[in-house]
Amino acid sequence: MQRPTKPPPASAARRTPPIRRAAGWLGPVVVIAIVAVLAIIARPADKPAEPVTGAATGGSTGGGQAENPFAGLARRAPDDPLALGETDAPVVILEYADFQCPFCGRHARETEPKLIKDYVDKGLVRIEWRDLPYLGAESNDAAAAGRAAAAQGRFWEFHDAVYARDRRVNSGSLNGGALRDIARSIGLDLARFDTDRASAATRTAVRRDQQEATSMGITGTPAFIVGDTPIVGAQPYEAFKQAIDRQVGAR
């Protein structure tokens, strides 16, 4: 599958998460369910959590179709280098992650490749990355470096290189020198890489993702919204498969 090569516009408008709008049109039971989901998401993901499925899908429109309260979060920008998959894929997975998070690394190595093979490559799923660097200085620096790699069309190569092995948090394994080594290993223009990762536009883009996450109560990683289904922690492939198949089959 060909990965995108153009960066998204730095000034792309941030969508307002629909969670804050949901209370106006969802029934009280659904609102309570969403609050319960977000309370679980808010817990830092220092260990894998139980999958949360279907809790936020109880609202319906007149035809009995369940509405997706998370639909407005998917950007679906055609040339987004932080996304994999077709822009019109039936299901979008929003992935909130930290490059220092060991459970994010587990997901990247064990689960995501299967999702790409079985769903992304077949046009059924689109994965959109969101930065949530909450583990310290090296998390923030790595998020900025990922954006700089994206500016050269190499975000997913950077992603794979960082997550290729576990790293101790704030141990120096993702300090400035280490990030340059990773950039060099994937063939980036280092001068441009250094300029882009230090830019105000890059830092603003990272903060925009953080604000989106915290506006919904997400403070730990990894956290996913699989179409209309929140999944928290480095859950096994089957948890994602169940959520995806239910939504693809309903179309």
pLDDT by residue (tens digit) across 197-250?
999 999 999 999 999 999 989 989 999 999 999 999 999 999 999 999 999 986
Stated pTM of the model = 0.76
pLDDT by residue (tens digit) across 65-114?
557 778 789 999 999 999 999 999 999 999 999 999 999 999 999 999 99
Q: What is the DSSP string of the chain?
A: -PPP-SPPPTTPPPPPPTHHHHTTTS-HHHHHHHHHHHHHHTS--SSPPPP--STT---B-TTSPBP-TTGGG----TT-TTEES-TT-SEEEEEEE-TT-HHHHHIIIIIHHHHIIIIITTTSEEEEEEE---S-HHHHHHHHHHHHHHHTT-HHHHHHHHTTS---TTSSTTSHHHHHHHHHHTT--HHHHHHHHTSHHHHHHHHHHHHHHHHTT--SSSEEEETTEEEESS--HHHHHHHHHHHHHT-
